[in-house]
Structure 1
Amino acid sequence: MKITVQSFGLTPHPPLEEHIQKKVNKLETFYDRIQFCRVLLKLENTADKENKTAELILDIPGDDIVVKKTTLSFEESIDVCVDVAKKLLIKKKETV
């Protein structure tokens, strides 16, 4: 699976990129037909402390799985996105 990270309004530091790679690569254990993964990081313009948005787009045959979450940190947003994507991939695998 190829992983691409795009960020808007920030430059991700190497530990964040390693965290993304580690978490997203685990998704292949749940569904082995993922072709491509895009991770979009965005800093929202709000006064709220929960302003770090991560969006995970998984390209799989027949569908795309899109998960978007906003939390206090990018690491937490990625973790939540991966958890939701994992559940969706398991559900997808059961229907195939």
Structure 2
Amino acid sequence: MNVQIQTVHFDADSKLIDHVNKKVQKLTNFYDRIVSVDVFLKLDNVAHQIKDKIAEIKIRIPRQDLFVKYETKSFEESFDLAFNAAVTQIKRQKEKKFQ
């Protein structure tokens, strides 16, 4: 499984990158045919307001792409919510495949 983590409008610290990598590696527990995972961590560009943190996860599996996006006040929370939604999508996709 190929994993790419991209940060937009900021530089991520190693703690955040490690958190994302550990979680992404767990995806293989739910579906072993994942081709690649792209994680995008972005700062929302809202002028004169507290910037929201956006986490997007794109998962490529054979014959389909899954996409999840969450926006909260911290990257960890955004990523964790997106990760949980991605796991739900993977499980649903796997159930459809075996029915």
TM-score exceeds 0.5? yes
Q: Percent same amino acid among aligned pairs?
A: 39
Q: Is the 8 A contact 2:45 2:51 kept in 1?
A: no
Q: Is the 8 A contact 2:34 2:62 kept in 1?
A: yes
RMSD: 1.2
Q: Report the Cα distance in structure 2 between the residues aligned to 1:72 and 1:49, rounded to whole angstroms.
A: 8
Match of 2:14 in 1: 14
Report the Cα offset of residue 24 of structure 1: 1.0
Q: Is the 8 A contact 2:40 2:57 kept in 1?
A: yes
Q: Is the 8 A contact 2:41 2:53 kept in 1?
A: yes
TM-score w.r.t. the length of structure 2 is: 0.92
Report the Cα offset of residue 49 of structure 1: 3.9
Q: Report the Cα distance in structure 1 between the residues aligned to 2:76 and 2:3, rounded to whole angstroms.
A: 16
Match of 2:39 in 1: 39
1:56 maps to 2:57:
yes
Match of 1:73 in 2: 74
Q: Is the 8 A contact 2:41 2:54 kept in 1?
A: yes
Q: 1:33 to 1:53 in 2, by over 3 A?
A: same
Q: Is the 8 A contact 1:50 1:73 kept in 2?
A: no
Q: Report the Cα distance in structure 2 between the residues aligned to 1:48 and 1:57, rounded to whole angstroms.
A: 28
TM-score w.r.t. the length of structure 1 is: 0.94
Q: Report the Cα distance in structure 2 between the residues aligned to 1:73 and 1:92, rounded to whole angstroms.
A: 29
Letter matched to residue 66 of structure 1? F
